[in-house]
Amino acid sequence: ALEAFRAAAEAERFPEQLKTVQPWQAKRLLWNTSEFFFRARNTAFDSSGLTSISAGGYQPLLGKSFGEIAAASRTMHKSQGFGVSIERETRKEYFKLLEGEPPEEGNIFSGINTTWERVPKAAGVANKVRALVAAYDASNPAASVPALLEFRKVLLSLGEDPWIAEKLSAVDGIIAACVGLHLEAVSEKAAAQPGETLNVQIEAINRSDISIQLKSVRILEKRAETNTDTALPAGQLITKKLLVTLPSNLPLSQPYWLREPGTLGTFTVTDQALIGLPENPPTFPVEVTLQIADQQIVYHLEPRFRKVDRVDGELNQPLVIAPAAFVELPRSVFVFGNDQPKSLDVRVVAAADDVKADLALEAPAGWKVEPASCRVELHGSNSEASFTFRVSPPSANPGEATLRAYLSAAGERKPAFSRQKIDYPHIEPQTLISPAQAQLVGAEIQNKAPRVGYILGAGDAVPDSLREIGSEVKILADTELRADTLAGFDAIVVGVRAANIQAARLAAAFPELLAYAKKGGVVVYQYNTTPGPKPEHLPYPLKISRDRVTNEEAEVRILAPDHPLMNFPNKITAQDFRGWVQERGLYFADEWDSSWQPILSSNDPGEKPLDGGLLVARVERGWFIYTGYSWFRQLPAGVPGAYRLFANMISLGMMPR
């Protein structure tokens, strides 16, 4: 942050950006520190020299304090169980100045000019804004429109300036709101293909007595255009239909930061003007020009598809620019622990009304894919069909490879795309379009646990990963958590954060799990947040901390190289900790009974060694394992060493005696 603070003000640092932006010296750089950081380290918090602000004030318009709003927001973090109690009282937040001009006490924005004084020739504009606000009548918003239009003329007279452009757009939006304007471009289809012709209907309703005329509509820079002087009478729906042919090179609906392959922790964006935008500029821009009183205002729309649901009523979503068909591979990673082939069921879903193509999967030399291709014929959008391919790894040193899907039609062969829909009630529906491809990972992985029982955690993808290395995984219901039923499994795995989301269930099952382990079984407990597994979940005491290793390349030291867990059925070495993703692990134990044996140690650079990431305890003839290492990230990512070590954990009960 400090480097960015300085670099933003230096013209010589990024001269290629100066075509569209100017250097900017921020007023100050602050660190929002907290008593919590020090309390977690058992260190006294000293607020001297810090700037404080009151952050828990009450907002009368909302009828809530900011603490209540913050608590509701944090409690929405469902995936890691971050629900919190509500703080209604005022509270202080503390800030440490890292660089720049010191702020006034209680105001971290002091000295920053946010008024009209920063805009050339804008003297007196602030007074006009105050007059507009003072005259506003909530029961008759349209009464403000004449004054808003006059104010708009003032802004236009001030010339070109980024602030003027931003405020002009805001004023246009306010005018639309004051006249109760409904303006929408409705597509006849949810998805369209580049080069396709489709109908778009413009809908306009003026819900005021202000004189408004629909002057013109232009789509995709004159690909479809109509000029009309159509009055918008109060409360009456006016529609205009246009037929538009999409350009054959129209880009697919993909977030701009995902259009090109990125690198570790970064995205690749070639168009610098896009950086910082929360979403793409319209791929399919629609310009509607309205005459409101004596001024013409252009409103910018993007077509949306509309439908009616029997339960949720009217729903709409952005028009998606899509390929003719999507190819869905069953997984993003396929792990080959030996030389045996795998069957892949590939699903093709039509986005166009009619799809005729040949589907092929291709892998690098040495890998074998059968058949060479499959004929696809689909009729009707969203119709689908499945095809089975057989993929065989090379006989020696398969390593890693990329499997890519292709569709050939009309003599043209193109890379295929997959689709992921993101649709929740509280956000705009999103469609993520990505290359239809998967990683093929070949490695020497021995797994001696053909049957694994699994107690699901939160957002848990580990069961599918275990199936990749030959385990038959059974998700256990409550009625199956009995010692006699568990005896049929080679290992029982407790999923990510299971103790956080179903503590009572695990407490009730513990006597059965313990009986299972005593007879020679192995129970693997994956990471849980604090508070983690309770005393009634484990055979011996241990305490989960917030300790973690965030550097995925941090050294991992083997503390017990002779332990069976490091040797059966796979010999674990430093090589197995290469290629990990995102992190080593989190929520390690920091205190444990002597019955637990630490197996690995790791730490971020400059931090103390953390030995509580993999603890193993003997329970008569069997084993209990607690592990905070992030298998839930490593296994779905196809990290070979993580598979080898996890295979050792679930195979521990199968070790020759």
**Phi and psi torsions of 154, nearest 5°:** -60, -45
Indicate the residue type of 429: P
User: Phi/psi zone of residue 595: left (φ > 0), alpha (ψ -120 to 50 degrees), beta?
Assistant: alpha
For residue 343, give every residue at least 6 positions away whose Cβ sits within 8 Å of its Cβ, in sequence order, or none.
Answer: 388, 389, 390, 391
What is the reported pLDDT for 40? 65
Strands of 578-653 (E only): list them. Answer: 585-586, 589-592, 596-598, 600-602, 614-619, 622-627
Q: Where are the alpha helices (DSSP H) in 57-161?
A: 66-75, 125-135, 145-157
Tens of pLDDT, residue by residue over 411-429, are: 999 999 999 999 988 888 9
Is residue 615 helix, strand or coil? strand
Binned average pLDDT, 10 residues per bin, the chain of 657 residues: 94 86 93 83 85 89 92 84 86 93 93 92 94 97 98 95 94 98 96 95 97 94 81 97 93 92 89 89 92 96 95 93 97 93 98 97 97 97 97 90 97 96 88 96 96 92 95 96 96 92 89 96 89 74 94 98 98 98 96 98 97 98 97 96 98 91
Is residue 202 helix, strand or coil? strand
Please classify residue 576 by burial: count the beta carbons closer than 10 Å to its beta carbon, then call 0-12 exposed, 13-18 middle and 19+ buried: buried
Q: What is the DSSP secondary-structure string of 337-348?
A: SSS--EEEEEEE
Q: Which residues pair with 361 in a beta bridge?
A: 405
Please classify residue 562 by burial: count the beta carbons closer than 10 Å to its beta carbon, then call 0-12 exposed, 13-18 middle and 19+ buried: exposed
Spatial strand order in the sheet of 224-231? 224-231, 212-219, 286-292, 295-301
Distance CA 178, CA 148 (A): 10
Strands of 145-294 (E only): list them. Answer: 182-187, 191-192, 197-205, 212-219, 224-231, 238-245, 286-292
Q: Which residues pair with 453 in a beta bridge?
A: 474, 492
Is residue 257 helix, strand or coil? helix
Residue 443 structure tokens: 């490695």
Tens of pLDDT, residue by residue over 580-623, are: 999 999 999 999 999 999 999 999 999 999 999 999 999 999 99
The pTM of the full predicted model, rounded to 2 decimals, is: 0.85
Q: What is the DSSP secondary-structure string of 362-420?
A: E--TT-EEESS-EEEEEESTT-EEEEEEEEE--SS---EEEEEEEEEETTEEEE-EEEE
With both helix axes pointing from N to C terminus, report the angle between 125-135 and 145-157 in degrees, rounded to the nearest 10: 170
What is the reported pLDDT for 318? 92
440 and 342 Cβ atoms separated by less than 8 Å = no
Q: Which residues pair with 591 in a beta bridge?
A: 543
Q: Do the domains spanning 182-268+282-321 and 325-442 agree at the CATH topology level? A: yes
CA 295 to chain centre: 43
Cis peptide before 569 (omega within 30 of 0): yes
Distance CA 195, CA 514 (A): 64
Instruction: Tell me which residue has tokens 């004189």.
Output: 211
CA dihedral 327, 333, 339, 345 (to 10 degrees): -30
Would you say domain 325-442 falls under CATH 2.60.40.10? yes
Comparing CA positions, the residue from 86, 88, 160 lying closest to residue 121 is 160
Q: What's 315's DSSP letter?
A: E
Is residue 463 helix, strand or coil? helix
What is the reported pLDDT for 223? 74
Three-state secondary structure readout of 16-53? HHHHCCCCCCCCEEEEEECHHHHHCCCCCCCCCCCEEE
320 and 332 Cβ atoms separated by less than 8 Å = no
Task: Name the pairing type of β-strands 622-627 and 522-525.
Answer: parallel
Residue 285 structure tokens: 């821009």
Tell me which architecture the domain covering 182-268+282-321 has in CATH: Sandwich (2.60)
Give the fold, CATH level 3, of 451-654.
Rossmann fold (3.40.50)
Residue 332 structure tokens: 């993003």
In angstroms, how far is the first alpha carbon of the chain from the final one? 56
What is the reported pLDDT for 531? 66
What is the reported pLDDT for 225? 80
To which H or E segment does residue 489 belong? Answer: none
Domain residue ranges of the chain, discontinuous segments joined by +: 2-100, 116-178, 182-268+282-321, 325-442, 451-654
For residue 614, give every residue at least 6 positions away whose Cβ sits within 8 Å of its Cβ, in sequence order, or none.
Answer: 565, 598, 599, 600, 625, 626, 627, 628, 629
